[in-house]
Structure 1
């Protein structure tokens, strides 16, 4: 059965890479075409990546948390498992299979034909789960070495067993037997699990002409600098290879304890530890080698390649994905558009009363009515009167584009950072329709289910920091827009009426503008228009 590799597709316009947040499948799982197999976070949203094949997951090539460029292989599938094949041989690609009925006695395909001699058909016992994940080459090697494949601990994703795992298991058993027979007090010869950096497995090996792994790990010799591993093939994630390039290290020279299907697998920590050892001139495997030569297996020591001191309480958080995009966007806006912020306060007694009157009707229609739809309609009224706030400055063309659409972005705080879904054509929608759409977009933003297209095309933005607490702020414009309105909390505050100080519900407003396009006087007039429509909500019926 053929194995199909699946590359990370373009999951959004202009997206060059993404962080693999989580795998939704594991090796051995059956998948169908269009079934989601992974969640990938881009600089715009969290998206699910669907499979393009019907088949079984063969291998995962990327770890959760890795940054993967678009076009890199992330997973492989074994397809065509339902096809009727010819007589199986020891060289077939058949993998572990299960019978449909009896889950307590699964039948494990050993790779021999149906007409094979029963005496030569060494059936492998199954794992407790009924499955043993191993490629045909590892199973064939296990039969040759007399190893029970079900007893081997796999080091690959999902416990997948590779050739190196089989050899390590076989050599470990042989070493114990030799030591017992000889009666020697000396420790058995080191196996691949005995040597390496800090007592870890060494995966140094080369492939012969037939594709099988040859040779075994050897003890490193202490020297002034670590000896390069000198492998011909090394598996590593794109993020690890990037670290290696930055540190000037060849991943084929980095000692490692991990393997994936018989190939050495190098992590970012391995690369950093090797680079530090090169700088200090000390071999990372010298201590393990000396202990082995003296005849006692070294105790595994935890390896901490973190640059942070062990007693530090600092925590390092990756600056990437949505958080990095927010940072770049804010930096671009703040250092491109000269910001000016205008503050004012609307007295919203009538607005509070209007909302209270409409809430029962909204609930009958299954809608939660907030103040946001009223504010959106008031903003559109102001934008129609002062179109320069619904604009974009195109510096290269030396022109200001006054937008004919009224698409308002609503800033939503999420665990991943601030997202701004866009409500299109606000001028053509009613209060209840706007309330329902805002609620839906905000909910999907927090669940990371927004599509990239739903965060594009805004002409003016709103940020409601009053929902968390506070009255005034200096919002940063959602560039290339030219204005953004910040809302404080609707609360009773002291106001002066007829010469007396009374408590009344008020709404603080903070309007930031791009001063290259909008004058301060125009900003104040726009704010006055918005406040007028909020203080007299019947005016919204004219919009």
Structure 2
């Protein structure tokens, strides 16, 4: 009689053939054994900055099965303040990735699992199930499409008929596309594999030339018939139907701005604007640019000639004014005190947050210790921070510690602005565009005449709970004095 041997931890037993079918779907246990010494460690997302609780996975530098060494890059994450590259602390093999690109990772949660060779830690994980029974949500291969998200319609209906129509030789000889490096959807990648096509052979009709599913269908029909097919779906849609609305989830930087601006609603803003004559300052900058010898001598710490603009001189003039009105360079501490009242923390160091417009949103890197810098070093540091902000490479330390904020709206072309205070700071100034305006001037003979002047509008906002209008007005006039007489600003430098 036909029989089958079934293994159990302690005995061998036989089963008649008639009942084999009832056991075919049973999950049997195998011989027990001592747990294998392995060293699979969860690699945790460390705290990358003050107040940061989660980050978005921008890109992975590794995939499952890769061997990494200490300090090799693992991934790049984007917080609400900066972009940070995460590197490996171990030598070993990547066993699994816990997040896909674009997903949010909590600080302190595992980013991936890494098999650290020779560590000798005890791993009591159960035997790995077979692929047919596996449902491991955290084990993600980020270089392959997610089969659960792939579209089934067109491929399931027509794959048998259309695959036979395409020559077998073209499928075998055609180079396979690098799907991980091309921006497509999982459904598109599946269709490419179904038909044995390379994505470089298909002309995309989506945004920025992205290949869509109907592009592949059209390409297959062209191969079968030898005649180009008009994309009826695209032409009909563009002629008769408007574009569909998009629901856009805020990324970390706009989300942080949402929280900051929501908090600013509790601050009573006091607004003050005044016009500053920048004619003398413009003449100084013009002479600096025209004097090639002077420009070559004035360099930054790296020996590079400094490009001089209005901004670094305005920042230095602000610092000089804050020496006289230090209460403007302050932070409001609303934490509970013994008397239940908030406190005003007047900062000794002039740390100016410089608002920078970037492709990812508004960022505010910080120029520390303006009072100890020259105009040229301020220009060099401001240029460096602006470049890092637009490239998304600011470190967390370059985003912290601001005591006063400057918004250079004039670089875009604006004049009047009502800047919003970033708590816990108590003041901010917006710099308008420097432009030519007509003005009246009395010459040496006492004759009034119209002359061309360069002027800019400075717009101030202050927390009216702790700063009064008179203090802001006097501080603003002090700034104007230094800007209108730049030769005095040079005498005051340390």
Into which bin does the TM-score normalised by the smaller protein fall?
0.5 to 0.7
| Secondary structure of the structure 2 residue equivalent to 1:413 | strand
**How far apart are the structure 2 equivalents of 1:46 and 1:40?**
6
The yes-or-no answer on 1:431 pairing with 2:375 is yes
Q: Which residue in 2 is equivalent to 1:505?
A: 454
Q: Are positions 1:56 and 2:5 aligned together?
A: no
* CA drift at 1:2: 3.8
Distance 1:77 1:160 in 2: 22
1:314 alignment partner, SS class? coil
Corresponding residue of 2:287? 357
1:482 aligned partner = 426
Do residues 472 (structure 1) and 421 (structure 2) align? no
Structure 1 Cα separation of the partners of residues 154 and 288 of structure 2: 71
Shift of 1:137: 7.1
CA distance in 1, matches of 2:70, 2:263: 41
* Partner residue in 1 for 2:257: 326
Q: Which residue of structure 1 lines up, in the alignment, with residue 234 of structure 2?
A: none
Contact 2:439 2:451 in 1 (8 A): yes
Among 378, 386, 391, the alignment partner of 1:447 is 391
Pairing 1:34-73 to 2, within 5 Å after superposition: 34-73=71-110
Note the alpha carbon deviations across 1:123-163, whole angstroms, 9 max, x for none: xxxxxxxxxxxx9976999xxxxxxxxxxxx99443499xx
- What CA distance in whole angstroms lies between the structure 1 residues aligned with 2:104 and 2:361? 18
Is residue 2:352 matched to residue 1:408? yes
Q: Taking structure 1 as reference, are residues 474 and 155 closer, same or farther at Cα in structure 2, changes over 3 Å only?
A: closer
Deviation, 1:47, is 0.8
SS at match of 1:485: strand
Shift of 1:539: 1.6
Partner Cα separation in structure 2 for residue 200 and residue 9 of structure 1: 43
The 1:363–1:480 alpha-carbon spacing in structure 2 relative to 1, beyond 3 Å, is: farther
Q: Is the 8 A contact 1:27 1:160 kept in 2?
A: no
> What is the aligned partner in structure 1 of residue 111 from structure 2?
74
Instruction: Give the structure 1 partner of residue 227 of structure 2.
Output: none
Secondary structure of the residue aligned to 2:59 is strand
1:529 matched residue in structure 2: 478
- The Cα of 1:40 is off from its aligned counterpart by 1.1
Q: Secondary structure at the match of 1:336?
A: coil
**Normalised TM-score (structure 2):** 0.63
Residue number among 324, 327, 341 corresponding to 1:385 in the alignment: 324
Q: Distance in 1 between matches of 2:119 and 2:43?
A: 20
Give the direction of change, closer, same or farther, for the CA distance of 1:426–1:197 in structure 2 (3 Å limit).
Answer: same
CA contact (8 A) 2:55 2:106 kept: yes
If asked which structure has higher relative contact order (CA below 8 Å, sep 6+), I would say 2
Q: Deviations over 1:53-106 (max 9, x none)?
A: 2122222221111111122222122332999xxxxxxxxxxxxxxxxxxxxxxx
Q: Does 1:516 align with 2:446?
A: no
CA contact (8 A) 2:75 2:86 kept: yes
* Counterpart-to-counterpart distance in 1, 2:432 and 2:261: 21
Conserved 8 A contact 1:329-1:479? yes
Q: Structure 1: any 5+ residue segments left out of the alignment? A: 84-134, 142-153, 166-191, 202-257, 259-309
Question: Residue 370 in 1 paired to residue 309 in 2?
Answer: yes
Cα gap change, 1:492/1:140 in structure 2, threshold over 3 Å: closer, same or farther? closer
Of the three residues 264, 271, 280, the one matched with 1:341 is 271
2:365 matched residue in structure 1: 421
CA distance in 1, matches of 2:260, 2:131: 53
- Normalised by the size of structure 1, how large is the TM-score? 0.58
Contact kept, 8 Å, 1:373 with 1:435, in 2: the verdict is yes
Question: How far did residue 482 of structure 1 move?
Answer: 1.0
Shift of 1:30: 2.4
Stretch of structure 1 that moved more, 509-518 or 53-62:
53-62
- The structural deviation recorded for 1:487 is 0.6
Equivalent pairs counted in the alignment come to: 343
The aligned runs of 1:64-103 (5 Å cut-off) are 64-80=101-117
Paired with 1:25 and 1:68, the residues of 2 have a C-alpha distance of: 17
Q: Secondary structure at the match of 1:40?
A: strand
Counterpart of 1:539 (choices 479, 488, 494) is 488
1:493 aligns with 2:437: yes
